[in-house]
Amino acid sequence: MKQKRLLVALLLLLILGILIVYSRLEYDNHNYGLKYILQHFDTFNNTKISFDGFVTEVNVTNHLIYLETAVQPWFIEVKIPGNQKLPQKGDFVEIYGTLNTRDYVTAEKIFINTPWQKDMIYLRSLPAIPFAFFLFYKTWKFSRKKIRFERRNNA
């Protein structure tokens, strides 16, 4: 009986591994990274891409920004639509637009992320920590003899 369970478990792990490899290969075939796009620029010319980076320079008169991306590092000139707000130097932005040349993108949408915006989720979850400890220790107690948690008898 134990050999049958072991065989079934190994078979399920093998199937899971095959599915993981297949999923990764399919992801790579359909979702190209910025590094791949830059290496094969001729095939991606005048296509829509999305990427992010830090603003290194802002040209207000021409409505242009210059970004530094994490890839290679790559400096790119981005034309911002007239109705979009220009980011400041040092802002982290996400760009959705059309790749015109190797170093020039016409942006359709630009999202400006403030540095503290992603950290707010941690500040909002701080009040939940004492409540979670209260609920846990209301139901469980630590046994020093067995060195593990046991359910409390709330009779």
pLDDT tens-place string over residues 27-60 = 767 777 777 887 888 888 888 888 888 888 888 8
pLDDT tens-place string over residues 53-80 = 888 888 888 888 888 887 766 777 788 8
The predicted pLDDT at position 72 comes to 66
Residue 154 CA to residue 24 CA, distance in Å, equals 49
CB 41 within 8 A of CB 74: no
Per-domain boundaries in the chain:
1-31, 34-113, 120-151
Q: pTM of the full predicted structure?
A: 0.57
**Is the CATH number of domain 34-113 2.40.50.140?**
yes
pLDDT tens-place string over residues 85-108 = 888 888 888 888 888 887 788 888
Residue 17 has pLDDT above 90, yes or no: yes
CB 95 within 8 A of CB 108: no
Mean pLDDT of the chain: 85
**DSSP single-letter state for residue 72:** T
In three state form, how does the secondary structure of 7-24 look? HHHHHHHHHHHHHHHHHH
The predicted pLDDT at position 18 comes to 96
